[in-house]
Amino acid sequence: MYKIMVALLIGTAITANAAPPTAWTPIEDGKRIKVIAHRGEHLHHPENTLPAFQAAIDVGADYFELDVRTTSDGKFVIMHDDTLDRTTNGTGEVKQHTFDEIRSLDAGIKFSPAFAGTKVPTLDEAFDLAHGKINVYVDTKNADAQQLVDTIVRHDMQDHVVIYGNPFFLYEVHKIRPALRVMPEALSPDICKLLIRAIQPEVLAFDASDFKDPVINCAKDGNAKIYVDRLGDADNPETWQKAIDFGAAGIQTNLPGELVNYLRTHDLATH
């Protein structure tokens, strides 16, 4: 299905404009590796919450990653799952609840009593926290393209985001504001080539399944930066270094503090 969706984009490609480097990243020499905190610093803080995002800033990450969903009354909230059950004291699908219903929930108590009372954040709150301090990796689970673009621009974050999602959604974002950095999943050599022809992305996303020589080479041939997930068993110095050796420009990790320290030790950190 993903391949079909990507193929349908061919023939209507628009060239994306590159965004300038972030103001709080003093070194941009092509060798520095971006640290992406997966769902914020969520091993010691409730995932996808403001405390987790602040902790990612505190440890020196270059991005925090968040997941955007839409409430039944059209508001953006931050949550990975399509249901409320795992991370809050609520139940049911996010899209079936109003914003006020979701804001009444506790997004911290299941993680630890120390975080009791933590709210499900809005995208507005996440951008307010990030502005001038860190970039944001926006994983769009369920969002309207125009509404997302408007929110990004309203917070003056257009030069400080990458936007991940399905290719149709990303193409809509690209049409609305071509300079925004959309980041589709590379997936395979053929799909990578189609994506580069369709939207010429500045950056492509990789995970363990597609971080392989033929797909990596496609990204490099298309002048796309490589942001790769190193999560779970792959989240360690050996596989971080292998990713760097294979050309990764950014690494998404559950261990942002440890990765920052590793990069600083090897003179590869951005700051």
Whether 80 is a known active-site residue: answer yes
* φ, ψ (nearest 5 deg) of residue 15: -75, 130
What is 226-260 written as a DSSP string? EEEE--GGG-SHHHHHHHHHTT-SEEEES-HHHHH
The single residue of 38, 42, 45, 160 carrying the catalytic annotation is: 38
Whether 38 is a known active-site residue: answer yes
The single residue of 45, 80, 160, 174 carrying the catalytic annotation is: 80
Q: How far apart are CA 83 and CA 94, in angstroms?
A: 5
Strand partners, 164: 139
Question: CB–CB of 70/141 below 8 Å?
Answer: no
Of residues 213, 207, 252, 185, the one with CA closest to residue 33 = 252
- CA angle, residues 187, 166, 178, in degrees to nearest 5: 105
Q: What is the CA radius of gyration of the chain?
A: 18
Residues marked active site are found at 38, 80
